[in-house]
Structure 1
Amino acid sequence: MDTEPQSELPRVVGREEWLAARREFLVREKEFTHAREALSAERRRLPMVRVEEDYVFEGPDGKASLADLFEGRRQLIVHHVMFDPEWEEGCPSCRFQIREIGYLPHLHERDTTLVLVSRAPQEKIRRYKERMGWDIPYYSSYGSRFNYDFHATLDESVTPLLINFRTREEHEAAVGPWDIWGHELPAVSVFLRDGEEVYHTYSTFSRGLDILLAVHNYLDLTPLGRQLG
């Protein structure tokens, strides 16, 4: 997707020429909509894997398991917030993402829970969350392998690198040195609970989170675009 700022304004034309151009572009928009719906359906058909590890998180009310994070619902979306234990706050890009999260009861009505998880200790998370004024459930995975196992934290001393589902060699051949990303990645992981079992169904990283940014998607409708340059 082109995220460069618009260097020139669109041509000024009469209403009939504008309508003809808009109708022509509508054909491509509908093609994109159908392709996106087909991709979403294919995503739902992806296989899943049972989570065998007993991860322990620290929440505002004490320790919690991964199953506890579901809050009794069947589906769980985990937003991995980049917040290293040595930092005093989460990264600005993740902060931007969190502020874009909508009205959580709409997810709850669909049997789905959304939570934030960072490697920072819960005390740092508590202070950060209070300062930001957030009421989203926010857990610490400090001391556990959770972020490493789901490749939102990259550290070869803990687990082999898998950078957006590529090995280090594959990533460097396609993109370049992995360490330009640092150790923490913006990521979302999705889980499904079936009885007492928890399954990992999906994860996405970096640009894969773009669709969750409402303000960018609004700006994509405008002639000036996202104005990121």
Structure 2
Amino acid sequence: MTKHTTGTREEWLSARLDLLKAEKELTRQSDELARRRQALPWVRVDKEYVFDTGEGKQSLRDLFAGRSQLLVYHFMFGPDYTAGCPSCSMIADGFDGFAVHLANHDVALWAVSRAPLAKLQAYRQRMGWTFPWASSQGNDFNFDFNVSFTEEQQREGSVEYNYRRSGQPMDAATIPEPVTRFAAACGTDGPTYKRDTPGMSAYVLENGVVYHTYSTYARGLDGLWGAYQWLDRAPLGRNETGVWWRRHDEYADG
């Protein structure tokens, strides 16, 4: 016998209509937040970044590939990793499906990571992905957009992520167990793993000038995490007590 509340179809419909009011209000709030994102001031990007891509060396401007808008997913794959972050991988599993639609709506989508291009390409092949992925190894892109940090910043507690400065030194002893587990899954240790973090950034190209328009990090990426949007609508919700996901080729029934 279930412990969850049960009722008649009429009782369910009454409760569902109350919930619908709240859902519609959340939708309106989401629309307003989208408007405010688009109203943010644009910041000109004057620094020249050169990326390694499957098509050779490309600038940030080149990544637009003829579009006026560019979305970048900052994928956690540091130079010392042997595989991409499992969480970023779960998010990226959805990219191929909508990247073609974005490309046909004046928006280019790229993943960018600090690992060498050869590592990114090998991992992309393993995962069966086709979306474009650039290596920022050797440039300041990840550091300038606050998704990568130095060992010195970790020691000093001067890491600034999600618009906050940590203020706390980081070493192996301060890394939570789930993070240590993810680090091991990426072939590295906790502090090295945490020198790269997830995020997404948006850019626009106007009159030959690139502008940075928006960035979000941490829980700000929830809306891009497609599986969670489905779980939030499942009967038991996220139903988790810890980290349960893994790369899609690592499940037992893979």
Q: In percent, how many aligned pairs have the same letter?
A: 42
Alignment coverage as a number of residue pairs: 217
Higher relative contact order (CA 8 A, sep 6+): 1
Report the Cα distance in structure 2 between the residues aligned to 1:177 and 1:84, rounded to whole angstroms: 17
**1:115 maps onto 2:110 in alignment:** yes
Q: Which residue of 1 aligns with 2:90?
A: 96
Name the SS for the 1:189 alignment partner: strand
The Cα of 1:10 is off from its aligned counterpart by 2.9
The Cα of 1:156 is off from its aligned counterpart by 6.8
The Cα of 1:15 is off from its aligned counterpart by 1.3
Q: Which residue of 2 aligns with 1:192?
A: 204
The Cα of 1:177 is off from its aligned counterpart by 6.7
What do the CA deviations read for 1:133-156 (whole angstroms, capped 9, x no partner)?
A: 111111100011100000011227
Q: Which residue of 2 aligns with 1:13?
A: 7
Q: Which residue of 2 aligns with 1:3?
A: none
Matches within 5 A, 1:23-172: 23-101=17-95, 102-155=97-150, 157=152, 161-169=159-167
Q: Which residue of 2 aligns with 1:204?
A: 216
Out of 51-60 and 148-157, give the one that drifted further: 148-157
Q: Which residue of 1 aligns with 2:247?
A: none
Q: Which residue of 2 aligns with 1:5?
A: none
Contact 2:153 2:159 in 1 (8 A): no
The Cα of 1:157 is off from its aligned counterpart by 4.5
Stretches of 4+ aligned residues off by more than 6 angstroms: 176-179
Report the Cα distance in structure 1 between the residues aligned to 2:28 and 2:13, rounded to whole angstroms: 22
Inter-CA distance 177–87: structure 2 relative to 1 (3 Å threshold): closer
Report the Cα distance in structure 2 between the residues aligned to 1:14 and 1:61, rounded to whole angstroms: 60
Report the Cα distance in structure 2 between the residues aligned to 1:21 and 1:46, rounded to whole angstroms: 38
Report the Cα distance in structure 2 between the residues aligned to 1:228 and 1:117, rounded to whole angstroms: 29
Name structure 1 gaps, 5 residues minimum: 1-7
> Residue type matched to 2:211 in 1?
Y
Report the Cα distance in structure 2 between the residues aligned to 1:186 and 1:79, rounded to whole angstroms: 8
The Cα of 1:206 is off from its aligned counterpart by 1.6
> Residue type matched to 2:220 in 1?
G
> Residue type matched to 2:164 in 1?
R
> Residue type matched to 1:152 in 2?
V
The Cα of 1:20 is off from its aligned counterpart by 1.1
The Cα of 1:129 is off from its aligned counterpart by 1.3
Report the Cα distance in structure 1 between the residues aligned to 2:16 and 2:117, rounded to whole angstroms: 51
The TM-score with structure 1 as length reference comes to 0.88
Q: CA RMSD in A?
A: 2.1
Contact 2:151 2:195 in 1 (8 A): no
What do the CA deviations read for 1:26-54 (whole angstroms, capped 9, x no partner)?
A: 11111111111111111110111000110
